[in-house]
Amino acid sequence: MNHQRLHILVSGVVQGVFFRDNTVKQAHHLRLKGWVRNLMDGRVEILAEGPRTELEELLEWATHGPPQANVTDIQPEWLEAQDNLEAFALVSTSAQSLDDPANG
């Protein structure tokens, strides 16, 4: 299996519309590991690991999200799997995304 890591930043009307809850459901269905969280700037951040085909399905779903969402931009970043993520979960809101230079 070709395991990879996928980091996604989703912009638009993606908070207050059950985007995170539905992301967790999608990830569980696809048997992915990782997390999803809101960012204080209004975006949603997703970090997931698993087989490439399942990650591609999650990415496709995230381009539109749940019915109440209005996704205007999506920024995926494919990375090498690190095998250090647990069962997919909703985590606390953060002021900065993983790709923020301040996290460097």
Residues 16-74 have pLDDT tens digits of 999 999 999 999 999 999 999 999 999 999 999 999 999 999 999 999 999 999 999 99
Residues 58-81 have pLDDT tens digits of 999 999 999 999 999 999 999 999
Compute the distance between CA of residue 37 and CA of residue 64 in angstroms, rounded to an integer.
17
pLDDT at 93 over 90: no
- When divided into structural domains, the chain yields a total of 1
Q: Check residue 101 and report its DSSP letter.
A: G
Residue 9 lies in a domain: no
Backbone angles phi, psi at 88, to 5 degrees: -60, 130
Residue 97 lies in a domain: no
Task: Please indicate whether residue 20 is annotated as part of the active site.
Answer: yes
> Whole domain around residue 36: which residue ranges?
16-73+82-89
CATH number of domain containing 31: 3.30.70.100
Task: Please indicate whether residue 38 is annotated as part of the active site.
Answer: yes
Confidence of residue 1 (pLDDT cuts 50, 70, 90): low
| Among 5, 22, 37, 38, the one annotated catalytic | 38
Q: Does residue 96 sit in helix, strand or coil?
A: coil
pLDDT at 102 over 80: no
| Among 20, 22, 37, 43, the one annotated catalytic | 20
